[in-house]
Amino acid sequence: AVDAGVSCARFSRFAAKHGWSGGEFLAGVPGTMGGALAMNAGAFGSETWTLVEEVELVDRAGSFENRPAGSFAVSYRQVDIPPAHWFTAGVFRLSQGRGDEGTNVRSLLEKRSETQPIRQSSAGSVFRNPPNDYAARLIEISGLKGLRIGGAQVSMQHANFIVNDRQACAKDIETLIEKVQTAVADHTGIRLEPEVRFVGEHQ
Ligand SMILES: Cc1cc2nc3c(=O)[nH]c(=O)nc-3n(C[C@H](O)[C@H](O)[C@H](O)COP(=O)(O)OP(=O)(O)OC[C@H]3O[C@@H](n4cnc5c(N)ncnc54)[C@H](O)[C@@H]3O)c2cc1C
């Protein structure tokens, strides 16, 4: 069982250190296990909810309840959480490892740093991958790598990342997201949907 406030990196490393396999992909996901449950965080072909057996939730009145994983509708980066409920913990089923879990964690982290702009400010992947395709591929073939609005730029390293390299404001980033969406739809006929969540109104 893992508290929702534990970081994904800590969970992943703890499991690997104790010879449990299955959580390696979470090592490079910035955030908490609560966030990973809420977003069904995933990477390298694995997803959080494939590991979940049971979760503990709290509601606004402070009542706790446990629910089995099967009682949630879960899909790609999407979990239907009952209104005004939050995850406080989860029970995860990992498998007995073969002793190479630590090495696997390190190689996934290396792969991430080779392919993603992890040293620059970003919100991670901007768009959801459409079925049987990759948002990054569609953005790249639409000629949008490096496109800039104000302080925000479509990453030269990974086209599904928008980096804030020159003090971008929220408006720069949202405008760039809309521009990429329109240009990709014009070029490929596919409308990309944001994976990031927008909070508040920009100025
Ligand atoms: C550089 C970078 C790389 C990233 N790489 C990946 C990746 O490989 N795979 C991936 O899936 N995501 C990735 N992300 C996105 C992000 O890390 C994940 O969505 C992560 O799960 C968010 O966790 P958090 O704790 O920061 O949640 P927050 O961002 O704080 O919250 C995310 C959402 O979950 C809700 N939430 C948070 N905690 C709870 C809780 N306990 N109960 C109920 N709802 C809750 C929030 O209300 C919000 O709607 C990346 C982000 C960045 C910046």
pLDDT tens-digit readout, 97-156: 999 999 999 999 999 999 999 999 999 999 999 999 999 999 999 999 999 999 999 999
Evaluate whether residue 195 is within a structural domain: no
Task: Please tell me the predicted confidence (pLDDT) of residue 203.
Answer: 63
Cβ of 35 below 6 Å from ligand 1: yes
Residue 125 falls in the annotated catalytic set: yes
Q: State how far the Cα of 24 lies from the Cα of 126, in Å rounded to an integer.
A: 23
Provide the domain count of the chain. 2
One domain for residues 47 and 128: no
The single residue listed with the structure tokens 């040293």 is 119
Task: Please tell me the predicted confidence (pLDDT) of residue 201.
Answer: 82
Q: Minimal CA–CA distance to 135: which of 155, 110, 164, 113?
A: 155
Domain boundaries, position 152: 117-188
Evaluate whether residue 102 is within a structural domain: no
- Give the CATH number for residue 123: 3.90.78.10
Residue 77 falls in the annotated catalytic set: yes
Q: Which residues of the chain have pLDDT under 70?
A: 202-203
Domain boundary among 64, 96, 128: 96
Cβ of 27 below 6 Å from ligand 1: no
One domain for residues 30 and 90: yes
One domain for residues 89 and 174: no
